[in-house]
Amino acid sequence: MVIDDLVVAPDTSLLETMRVIDRTGMEVALVADAERRLLAIATDGDIRRAIIAGQPLSVPILNIANRRFTAVGPEVSRQEALARMIERGFACLPVIDGEGRLIDLHTLTGTLVVTKSESWAVVMAGGKGERLGELTQAIPKPMLPIGDKPILERIVLHLAGHGIRRIFLSVNHYGRMIEDHFGDGRRWLVRIDYLWEERPLGTAGALGLLPEPPRAPLVVMNGDLLTAINISRLLAFHRAGEFAATMALREHKVQVPFGVAEVEGHRVARLVEKPSLHYRINAGIYVLSPAAVARVPRRQPCNMTDLIAGLLADQLPVGAYHMQETWNDIGLPDEFARAQRQG
């Protein structure tokens, strides 16, 4: 189904609009003019109320549809749109351009935006966040608020926005606080389960607590990240490369504050004034094949770097996904304060 299947002209009859809604199963019709400008939204509820009020089935749909609808621009991410729909009880959220023309539609299930993914996700949320000092004395780092939401809730929404429907949260430190907040995940239209670490198991050891082996590539990420990484694209990259594992990498620039001499033997060959060094750093976001997950020992400590190193030692392919999207690791008080200002 495409979005045009939901669009009706303003003079479309109430009866024909009912047929459109029944045919698409989306419980909504979008009323747009010949220039594709969105004029109103008609829902099942609007139609029922019109029929109860005695409106004839021949009445133009524009007469009974809601003209005071909420829409967003294309700059609003799927994550933000999903959060607004959940908070305000919307079944859908149209996307319009600066001229009011319909260009897309967010739905709670993501039917027109994203396909439900077979992949699960594991979010490592059991760290103590000791580098943040007093900020994490009474609250786990992933639950620190950025704007009006905890970091971890933003991650859950982001994963849900890319079709991930089953999420495991690895918890230990203040884990009950996390469980009390998220419950079974139903509010975010996902299923959330908890991997309880009775003792620290490292950055990958919690994977050995999964109740069953994954049947599709598994997304693994740290629970203290603020990022807009395209999870769907990351998974597609992993599958296309037939990798055993894929690491998301982020460019990191180091500015040397001094002039640097390049030396050959006992002579200065050249001078470089305050050079910039560029590195690709580990972003703390991975995709693991089911076979790679099976390498993690049950209930034993294991670090992700050791798991990746083992794959490389056995000459198994590890993908390097060069992410371009925003990324912040909330590890120090200054970074948290900066994220709050931006959030």
Report whether pLDDT(327) > 70. yes
Sorted by where each starts, the structural domains of the chain and their CATH numbers stand as: 3-107 (3.10.580.10), 121-342 (3.90.550.10)
Contact status, residue 108 vs residue 28, Cβ threshold 8 Å: no
Report whether pLDDT(140) > 90. no
The pLDDT-based confidence of 106 (bands split at 50, 70, 90) is confident
What pLDDT was estimated at residue 325? Answer: 85
The pLDDT-based confidence of 137 (bands split at 50, 70, 90) is low
| Strands lying side by side in the sheet with 28-32 | 7-8, 28-32, 38-43
What pLDDT was estimated at residue 259? Answer: 93
Who's near 12: CB < 8 A, 6+ residues apart? 20, 31, 60, 61
What pLDDT was estimated at residue 88? Answer: 77
Q: What is the dihedral sign for C-alpha 177, 183, 185, 187?
A: negative
Who's near 252: CB < 8 A, 6+ residues apart? 278, 279, 280, 281
User: Which of 180, 181, 188, 179 is CA-nearest to residue 79?
Assistant: 188
How many C-beta atoms surround the C-beta of residue 49 within 10 A? 12
What pLDDT was estimated at residue 114? Answer: 46
Contact status, residue 329 vs residue 252, Cβ threshold 8 Å: no
Q: What is the pTM of this model?
A: 0.70
pLDDT tens string 44-96: 889 999 999 999 999 999 999 999 999 999 888 777 788 788 777 787 899 99
Who's near 100: CB < 8 A, 6+ residues apart? 37, 38
Contact status, residue 238 vs residue 290, Cβ threshold 8 Å: no
CA-to-CA distance for 87 and 125, rounded, in angstroms? 24
* Alpha-carbon radius of gyration of the chain: 25
Amino acid making up residue 127: G
- What mean pLDDT comes out for the span 191-209? 94
The dihedrals phi and psi of 18, each to the nearest 5 degrees, come to -60, -40
- Mean residue pLDDT of the chain comes to 88
User: Which of 144, 130, 212 is CA-nearest to residue 178?
Assistant: 144
- What mean pLDDT comes out for the span 26-31? 88
The pLDDT-based confidence of 2 (bands split at 50, 70, 90) is low
